[in-house]
């Protein structure tokens, strides 16, 4: 590529030089011809005026013509006779320069229009043999013995001077200098363009080979310019390995491409780290209940365990396994847009209150109080069961980190600038340690486990909040994470308030709309798993 760019520069410069050179030559040729015409016209005017003003012009003719030819710088200036056929003949009183480029005498034959112009005392200019020939008819006085008058034509000729050889030599020399300069500039620019491409190519090749910490070196970007910063996202805390030699400078398109590659590599590295973290977490979640089930089954077989107590432990552990598998299935079906949503008008406050009440006994066993605060009706269009699942996941997550209290608050807001509709909000807050600022961008990422560890023994898989985000998006809502001003985490679900138009159509996850009314059958779709809260 570097060689092709350099050759392209040289060829571009060569074509430019040729175009400019031919243009200059054409302009110079036109200018030289115009100067020759002016010189011929001036010579004919000057000599004609002198001959017509002389008292005895016939005697002065042989003196005036050669003298004025030299003074006016003309190659040919002499009187001629015009035949009936328009042929131009010399009268023998020559006035020609040595080495006349036009030849010994211009061999001319005038046409009828040119003869008519001469008869009208007009000057006729003719292109002839690389020069300009001018003719003007004169009538001068002579001796009475010669008839008293002499009518003849005065001919002047001047070659159109070509471009001097010295100018051509300078043009060739300057062209050579320009071509060399273009070659040098092409090589330098090609290196500057090719270096970022090679650096990006080396980085992408390293990433393709599994070296996910490879980064394109960009001057001024910390850690290879991935724009992520430091922090336990499972890969972002390590120092990135820069490839491609010296760093890229500036802020052009190639540098932006390098930054995009670095962001991609950082995302891939973090995804791999999250996969590893998830495998460890799921392995632990699978191993713990399986170990308990296996142990109690062996104890039952040996008669060493009380059947009722062993059955209770085995049932609890099986429920734990079922919830983990259910979460994985939920996410898989959300990805495949196979989640069945029964979209109907529901009151967000009613669903949130019932969900909080259903989780209150478990919270009480853990020493947590759940307070539900509903600020009036909050009508939305949603799937009541899936909405309860999303709120349950938020509350269960908060119970894992709360110290003594979880608050579930339902409020409404006025129309905003997005779609002109109000919002119904359900906010779940706890009095735990809250989110680490470095964790906030990744709270709803799948498989992500933050820095803060839950206070309860249950080990989170990092799937519950990811399911909340997917469910909220499928029902036309959104979810945000933050920290409360007085401490603790705060998670907020937001849905558009239902308007009268929502009684006729609703939007389902694949982008289509379907009619509905309260109590109608849901849009057709494959069956989905039963909702279950998950942390």
Burial class (CB in 10 A: 0-12, 13-18, 19+), 100: middle
Out of 235-244, 291-300, 305-314, 337-346, pick the least confident.
Answer: 235-244
Q: Is the pLDDT of residue 459 over 70?
A: no
Burial class (CB in 10 A: 0-12, 13-18, 19+), 170: exposed
Tokens of 257: 């491409």
What span, in angstroms and rounded, lies between the C-alpha atoms of 296 and 163? Answer: 109
Out of 292-301, 306-315, 516-525, pick the least confident.
Answer: 516-525
Where does the pLDDT of residue 522 fall: very low under 50, low under 70, confident under 90, or very high at 90 and above? Answer: very low
Secondary structure class of 309 (helix, strand, coil): helix
Specify the pLDDT at position 419. Answer: 66
Specify the pLDDT at position 481. Answer: 93
What span, in angstroms and rounded, lies between the C-alpha atoms of 90 and 106? Answer: 9
What span, in angstroms and rounded, lies between the C-alpha atoms of 456 and 362? Answer: 12
Specify the pLDDT at position 527. Answer: 35
Range 299-306 average pLDDT: 84
Q: Is the pLDDT of residue 8 over 60?
A: yes
pLDDT of 54-90, one tens digit each?
655 666 666 666 667 777 778 777 788 888 778 888 7
Q: Is the pLDDT of residue 520 over 60?
A: no
Contact 227, 262 (CB under 8 A): yes
Specify the pLDDT at position 531. Answer: 41
**Cβ contacts of 509 within 8 Å, gap of 6 or more:** 337, 339, 341, 474
What span, in angstroms and rounded, lies between the C-alpha atoms of 458 and 284? Answer: 11
Range 332-358 average pLDDT: 81
Contact 135, 117 (CB under 8 A): no
What span, in angstroms and rounded, lies between the C-alpha atoms of 29 and 503? Answer: 85
Q: Is the pLDDT of residue 490 over 90?
A: yes
Tokens of 1: 């590529």
Q: What is the mean pLDDT of the chain?
A: 75
Specify the pLDDT at position 146. Answer: 55
pLDDT of 213-235, one tens digit each?
888 877 766 554 444 444 334 44
Which residue would you say has higher pLDDT here, 90 or 238?
90
Range 482-490 average pLDDT: 89
Q: Is the pLDDT of residue 509 over 60?
A: no
Specify the pLDDT at position 167. Answer: 72
Which residue would you say has higher pLDDT here, 387 or 236?
387
Q: Is the pLDDT of residue 516 over 70?
A: no
What span, in angstroms and rounded, lies between the C-alpha atoms of 326 and 339? Answer: 13
Out of 60-64, 340-344, 355-359, pick the least confident.
Answer: 60-64
Specify the pLDDT at position 224. Answer: 44
Read off the DSSP letter of residue 185.
H
Q: Which residues of 504-532 are buried (b: 16+ CB within 10 A; e: fewer)?
A: eebbbbeeeeeebeeeeeebeeeebeebb
Give the predicted TM-score (pTM) of the model: 0.46
**Cβ contacts of 526 within 8 Å, gap of 6 or more:** 338, 340
Contact 33, 132 (CB under 8 A): yes
Range 186-195 average pLDDT: 76
Specify the pLDDT at position 429. Answer: 94
Q: Is the pLDDT of residue 251 over 80?
A: no
Secondary structure class of 381 (helix, strand, coil): strand
Where does the pLDDT of residue 98 fall: very low under 50, low under 70, confident under 90, or very high at 90 and above? Answer: very low
Specify the pLDDT at position 493. Answer: 95
Specify the pLDDT at position 407. Answer: 94
Q: Is the pLDDT of residue 519 over 80?
A: no
Count the Cβ atoms, other than its own, within 10 Å of residue 78.
Answer: 22
Percent of the chain past pLDDT 90, that is, above it, reads 12
What span, in angstroms and rounded, lies between the C-alpha atoms of 517 and 499? Answer: 13
pLDDT of 436-446, one tens digit each?
888 888 888 87
Specify the pLDDT at position 336. Answer: 58
Q: Is the pLDDT of residue 101 over 50?
A: no
Helix (H) or strand (E) holding 131: strand 131-141
Considering only CA atoms, which of 157, 128, 186 is closest in space to residue 65? Answer: 157
Considering only CA atoms, which of 391, 416, 396 is closest in space to residue 475? Answer: 391
| Residues forming a β-bridge with 495 | 424
Where does the pLDDT of residue 513 fall: very low under 50, low under 70, confident under 90, or very high at 90 and above? Answer: very low
Specify the pLDDT at position 79. Answer: 80
Out of 187-196, 220-229, 271-280, pick the least confident.
Answer: 220-229
What span, in angstroms and rounded, lies between the C-alpha atoms of 168 and 25? Answer: 10
Tokens of 158: 């001047």
Contact 74, 40 (CB under 8 A): yes
Q: Is the pLDDT of residue 265 over 90?
A: no
Range 310-333 average pLDDT: 76
Secondary structure class of 517 (helix, strand, coil): coil
Q: Is the pLDDT of residue 197 over 60?
A: yes
Distances in Å between the Cα of 417 and the Cα atoms of 181, 414, 499 are 58, 10, 16
Query: What is the Cα gyration radius of the chain?
Result: 50
Q: Is the pLDDT of residue 500 over 60?
A: yes
Which residue would you say has higher pLDDT here, 24 or 338?
24
Residue with tokens 């009936």: 84
Specify the pLDDT at position 56. Answer: 55
Most confident of 173-177, 179-183, 228-232, 364-368: 364-368
Specify the pLDDT at position 231. Answer: 38
**Cβ contacts of 383 within 8 Å, gap of 6 or more:** 341, 342, 343, 344, 475
Where does the pLDDT of residue 147 fall: very low under 50, low under 70, confident under 90, or very high at 90 and above? Answer: low
Q: Is the pLDDT of residue 505 over 60?
A: no
């Amino acid at each position: 590529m570097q060689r092709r760019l350099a050759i392209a520069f040289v060829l571009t410069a060569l074509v430019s030089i040729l175009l400019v050179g031919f243009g200059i030559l054409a302009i110079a040729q036109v200018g030289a011809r115009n100067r020759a015409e002016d010189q011929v016209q001036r010579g004919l005017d000057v000599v004609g005026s002198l001959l017509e003003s002389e008292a005895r012009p016939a005697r002065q003719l042989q003196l005036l013509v050669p003298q004025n030819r030299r003074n006016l710088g003309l190659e040919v200036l002499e009187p001629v006779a015009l035949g009936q056929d328009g042929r131009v003949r010399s009268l023998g009183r020559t006035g020609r320069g040595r080495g006349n480029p036009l030849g010994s005498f211009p061999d001319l034959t005038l046409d009828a229009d040119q003869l008519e112009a001469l008869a009208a005392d007009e000057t006729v200019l003719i292109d002839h043999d690389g020069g300009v020939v001018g003719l003007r008819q004169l009538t001068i006085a002579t001796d009475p013995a010669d008839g008293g008058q002499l009518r003849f034509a005065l001919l002047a000729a001047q070659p159109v001077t070509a471009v001097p050889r010295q100018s051509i030599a300078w043009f060739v020399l300057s062209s050579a200098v320009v071509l060399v300069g273009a070659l040098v500039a092409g090589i330098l620019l090609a290196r500057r363009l090719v270096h970022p491409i090679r650096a990006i190519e080396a980085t992408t090749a390293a990433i393709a080979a599994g070296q996910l910490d490879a980064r394109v070196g960009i001057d001024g970007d910390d850690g290879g310019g991935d724009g992520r910063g430091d922090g336990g996202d499972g890969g972002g805390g390590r120092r990135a390995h820069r490839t491609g030699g010296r760093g890229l400078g500036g802020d052009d398109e190639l540098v932006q491409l390098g930054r995009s590659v670095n962001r991609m590599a950082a995302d891939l590295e973090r995804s791999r780290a999250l996969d590893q973290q998830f495998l460890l977490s799921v392995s632990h979640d699978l191993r713990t209940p399986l170990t308990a089930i296996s142990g109690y089954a062996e104890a039952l077989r040996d008669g060493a365990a009380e059947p009722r107590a062993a059955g209770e432990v085995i049932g609890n552990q099986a429920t734990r396994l079922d919830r983990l598998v259910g979460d994985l299935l939920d996410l898989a079906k959300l990805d495949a847009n196979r989640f069945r949503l029964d979209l109907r008008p529901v009151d967000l406050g009613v669903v949130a209150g019932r969900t909080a009440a259903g989780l209150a006994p478990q919270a009480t066993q853990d020493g947590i109080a759940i307070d539900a605060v509903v600020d009036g009706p909050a009508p939305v269009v949603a799937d009541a069961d899936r909405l309860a699942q999303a709120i349950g996941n938020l509350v269960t997550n908060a119970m894992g980190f709360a110290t003594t209290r979880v608050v579930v608050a339902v409020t409404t807001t006025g129309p905003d600038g997005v779609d002109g509709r109000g919002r119904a909000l359900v906010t779940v807050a706890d009095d735990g340690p809250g989110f680490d600022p470095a964790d906030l961008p990744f709270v709803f990422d799948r498989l992500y486990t933050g820095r803060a560890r839950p206070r309860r023994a249950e080990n989170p898989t990092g799937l519950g909040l990811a399911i909340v985000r997917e469910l909220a998006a499928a029902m036309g809502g959104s979810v945000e994470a933050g920290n409360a001003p007085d401490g603790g985490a705060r998670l907020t679900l937001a849905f558009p308030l239902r308007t009268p138009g929502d009684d006729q159509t609703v939007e389902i996850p694949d982008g289509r709309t379907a009619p509905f009314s309260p109590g109608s059958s849901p849009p057709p779709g494959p069956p989905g798993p039963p909702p279950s809260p998950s942390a």
